[in-house]
Amino acid sequence: MRRSFDYLPAPGATLPGPGERVRVPFGRQRAIGIVAAHADASELPRAQLKSVTKAIDTTPLWDESTFGVLRWAADYYHHPLGDVLFGALPRMLREGAAATHEETVWRISDAGRAALAAGTRLGRRQQALVEIVGDAGATAAQIADAGHGAALRSLAARGWLESSLRRPPPPPAGAGRAGPVLTVDQGAAVSAIGSSLGSFGAFLLHGVTGSGKTEVYLRVIERVLQAGRGALVLVPEIALTPQLVGRFRERLAAPVVALHSSLADSARLEAWRAARAGSAPVVIGTRSAVFTPMPSLGLVVVDEEHDASYKQQEGFRYSGRDLAVMRAQRAGIPAVLGSATPSLESISNAAAGRYVRLSLPERTGRAGKPRVTVVDLRINPARDGLSPPASAAIERHLADRGQVLVFLNRRGYAPTLFCTGCGWIAPCKACDARLTVHLSRARLACHHCGAEAPMPFACPQCASELAPVGEGTERVETALTQLFPAAPLVRIDRDVIRRRGDMEAALASVADGRARILLGTQMLTKGHDFPDVTLVVVLAADQGLFGADFRASERLAQQIVQVAGRAGRGDRPGEVLIQTSYPEHPLLKCLITAGYDGFAALALDERRAAGWPPYAHLALLRADAPSRPEVNAFLEEAAAAAPAARRAGIRMFGPAPAALARRAGRHRAQLLVESASRGALQAFLAGWVEAIGSLKPPRQLRWSLDVDPAEVD
Ligand code: ADP
Ligand code: ZN
Ligand code: ZN
């Protein structure tokens, strides 16, 4: 709900402060609320105001500056404050768990021991609980996680379990091992950031893969810790591996905790509490960790700042990267944004002097820059995705005992199943999309809605033979194992890497040299070290060149540079082959001849000419519903409801169907709002969201507003 509710303080109790949780009556239910602010007056007469039932916290959940960031973000993204605040909390806090570090520990009481010794029979669940509690005791959170809440209540009621409060020991401190002697460039970066400690400054650390960016973060964090302050390090979802956390723990002499969504609820709560209490001064986390309260925060780092996973794509659609900079600004501390392929936004911020640019142009190892060659697919047609020069290069590198990385950002066997007789293409029934062939499972799958169907044997229209057209990783795997039967291959994509452990196992086989060929999607391009890879082959560089989205070419360039950066990281020089049917495409040509900086300059020129970000500011109103007329009617109404008084400097485009006009049976369309002025756009949106909120769309229609959308197609 886009509003807050007024309550009186609980009778006789102290007034709970902003940022503290309270239990309140809500309609006929009870709910947990967070105090947003104190008010002197209410629209409701005093007699109708209800009182807070009970305060949960005695101090605010967040420090003042972080709470300020949350409130600012609710305003900026025009998202309900309640959803912003609750979304920033681990689940157990949303449900009322204590925010302080003390936890309730349950142990078997003397009475319980006596009863057990006397051979009292317990129920199955009670028996399981007794085993969990054991001699060491178990925390209330652990018991709740294991689903033994009911058994706990019954045994506690009998007095066989007893509880006490315990302050858990802080997480163990790291080893504090010394790092390598810094290179000149690293040293310059560390002292530039170091001299800004204690005041706001944003730094763009542009360093090629393997240039030692992580080492720079570690050195600056060491200084921050020496000054008695803490550091928050954001990393892309897929990069938060035990290796990375291990590296921080080895180098830093202070407790380091990781915060991400695949932690068990109680572990996440525990890490959050340790961060808030200051007992873990270093937090490494994904996007949402930007909201972690940390006393005396001294530094914010955003690694691989260009990464798309920093943007939340549903519900509260915020940019973790942008909020990290905002947080640093409000806290008066430096923010470091690191990347081998910075976003065009950050490059333009640096060019405008808003960020200080620091460069690490050299790799730390002995190997120089990889040699990049383009393979023209019109002259060298590919079979199963592989052109003859690519196969020859793979053979050569394998013979030289090198490892080979093959990159194709498309999973499955083939993206299309095609009828050789009538031209029928297997469609998804629920989406305007084709089904992808997954040959090993003999199934067709929609990569947009997840629908699956068995593979038909013949064309349903004319009974002719069907042919898979195009290639995904599964098909390339088959081709590579046939061509190079002696070279063990690991494939890394979402079809084969399903759980965290799968990735670890795949990476281990690469690290110890068992695997000679690595084949994968963009899962491969994120932050992993492959020191023995000497050849990188990019199979289809064209996928992003003609994408509908204005960021498509930026993403493509980032992927190519990121994956190319995996070659030759140790002491062996690398080679990169890029297959394309459009070698003369200006952006691709520029990327190859002038590198990422050259590409970025050209791409920014194009953005400026076309009036796209960062030279304009965007917001996207998306809507979807089971029928197209409903969606269109709603968007027309929304467009008409735009506040006339605030339309100066605002341009509105649409309604237009989304690039994928139907997904999972729902029709999708959007209105794009653009302005050269962020302030004008914000003023407009504030009035518009209110106006949209008072429309009465059909029940099944869903809409959302995306400020600074990552994609507009
Ligand atoms: P990035 O984060 O830019 O990819 P890393 O910090 O991970 O780079 O460094 C790449 C490799 O080089 C790591 O194995 C790291 O230990 C090593 N390294 C970093 N800085 C130095 C240095 N100054 N001297 C020697 N080795 C270094
Ligand atoms: Zn047919
Ligand atoms: Zn579908």
CA of 454 to the centre of ligand 3 (A): 14
Residue 26 to residue 22: CA distance in whole angstroms: 12
**Is the C-beta atom of 243 inside 6 A of ligand 1?**
no
Mean pLDDT check: name the lowest of 11-15, 199-203, 420-424.
Answer: 11-15
Which residue is closest in CA terms to ligand 1's atom 11?
210
Handedness of CA 172, 174, 175, 176 (dihedral sign): negative
Ligand 1 atom, smallest distance to 209 CA: 4
Is 304 near ligand 1, meaning CB less than 6 Å away?
no
577: amino acid identity, one letter: L
- Helix H or strand E encompassing 608: helix 586-610
Does 209 contact ligand 1 (Cβ within 6 A)? Answer: yes
CB 260 within 8 A of CB 289: yes
pLDDT value for 139:
83
Q: Which atom of ligand 1 is nearest to the CA of 183?
A: 23
Give the dihedral of Cα atoms 12, 16, 22, 28; nearest 10 deg.
60
Q: Which ligand is nearest to the CA of 418?
A: 2
Distance CA 2, CA 207 (A): 42
Question: Residue 254: is its pLDDT beyond 70?
Answer: yes
Entry field: residues in the chain: 713
464 CA distance to ligand 2 centroid (A)?
5
Q: How far is the CA of 210 from the centre of ligand 1 (A)?
A: 6
CA distance 269 to 142: 11
Report the nearest-CA residue for atom 6 of ligand 1: 212
Q: For residue 177, give the ligand nearest its CA.
A: 1
**385 alpha carbon, distance to own chain's centre:** 30
- Relative to beta strand 230-234, strand 282-285 is parallel
Ligand nearest to the CA of 660: 3
- pLDDT band for position 578 (cuts 50, 70, 90): very high
Average pLDDT over residues 469-494: 94
Handedness of CA 223, 225, 229, 233 (dihedral sign): positive
Could you tell me if the CB of 210 is within 6 A of ligand 1? Answer: yes
CA-nearest residue for atom 15, ligand 1, is 212
Q: Residue 452 Cα, ligand 3 centroid: separation in angstroms?
A: 8
Considering every ligand atom shown, identify the ligand nearest to the alpha carbon of residue 212 and give its number: 1
Residue 524 has pLDDT above 90, yes or no: no
Q: Contact, 260 vs 291, CB < 8 A?
A: no
Cβ-based neighbour number of residue 243 at 10 Å: 14
CA of 454 to the centre of ligand 2 (A): 17
Q: How confident is the model at residue 569 (pLDDT cuts 50, 70, 90)?
A: low
Alpha carbon dihedral 261, 262, 263, 266, in 10-degree steps, equals 70
Judged by average pLDDT, the poorest of 290-299, 581-590, 617-626 is 581-590
Instruction: Identify which has the larger pLDDT, 262 or 418.
Output: 418
Asked whether residue 366 carries a pLDDT value surpassing 60, the answer given is no
CB neighbourhood size of 17 (10 A)? 14
Question: How would residue 699 be classed by pLDDT, with cut points 50, 70 and 90?
Answer: very high
Ligand 1 centroid to Cα of residue 193, in Å, is 18
Confidence of residue 695 (pLDDT cuts 50, 70, 90): very high
Token pair 């002697």: residue: 181
pLDDT, residue 571, reads 67
Expressed in angstroms and rounded, the spacing between residue 475 Cα and the centre of ligand 2 is 23
How far, in Å, is the centroid of ligand 1 from the Cα of 33?
Answer: 46
Ligand closest to 301 (CA) is 1
CA distance 346 to 185: 20
Instruction: Count CB-CB contacts under 10 A for residue 460.
Output: 11
pLDDT in tens, 627-654: 999 999 999 999 999 888 788 889 999 8
Cα–Cα dist 398/396, whole Å: 6
Whether residue 180 has its Cβ less than 6 Å from ligand 1: yes
- Residues 363 and 209: their CA atoms lie apart, in Å, by 7
Q: Is the CB of 212 under 6 A from ligand 1?
A: yes
Tokens of 665: 């049976």
Kindly tell me if the per-residue pLDDT of 588 is higher than 70.
yes
Q: Is any atom of ligand 1 closer than 6 Å to the C-beta of 214?
A: yes
**CB atoms < 10 A from the CB of 20, how many?**
19
- Of all residues in the chain, the percent with pLDDT exceeding 90 is 66
Contacts of 481 (CB under 8 A, 6+ apart): 489
Instruction: Read off the DSSP letter of residue 414.
Output: B
Distance CA 451, CA 439 (A): 16
Q: Which atom of ligand 1 is nearest to the CA of 182?
A: 23
Say how many Å lie between the CA of residue 197 and the centre of ligand 1. Answer: 23
Mind listing the pLDDT tens digit for each residue in 309-358? 999 999 999 999 999 999 999 999 999 999 999 999 999 999 999 999 99
What pLDDT does 531 receive? 79
CA atoms within 13 A on the CB side of 20: 18
Tell me the best of 364, 530, 562 to mutate to test the pocket of ligand 1, counting ligand atoms within 8 Å of each CB and taking the most.
364
- Whether ligand 1 lies within 6 angstroms of the CB of 213 is answered as yes
Give the nearest ligand 1 atom to 360 CA: 3
Q: Please state, in angstroms and rounded to a whole number, the distance separating the CA atoms of residues 494 and 499.
A: 9
Q: What spatial distance separates the first Cα and last Cα of the chain, rounded to whole Å?
A: 28
Instruction: Please give the distance, rounded to the nearest whole angstrom, from the Cα atom of residue 81 to the centre of ligand 2.
Output: 54
Q: Determine the distance separating the centroid of ligand 1 and the alpha carbon of 213, expressed in angstroms.
A: 7
Is 363 close to ligand 1, i.e. is its CB under 6 Å away? no
Looking at all shown ligands, the one closest to residue 434's CA atom is 3
**Ligand 1 atom closest to residue 303's alpha carbon, by position in its atom list:** 2
Could you give the C-alpha distances from 408 to 334, 368, 496, 510, 660, in angstroms and in order? 37, 25, 15, 18, 22
For residue 64, the surrounding DSSP H or E stretch is helix 64-76
Pure H helices in 484-537: 500-511
CA of 180 to the centre of ligand 1 (A): 8
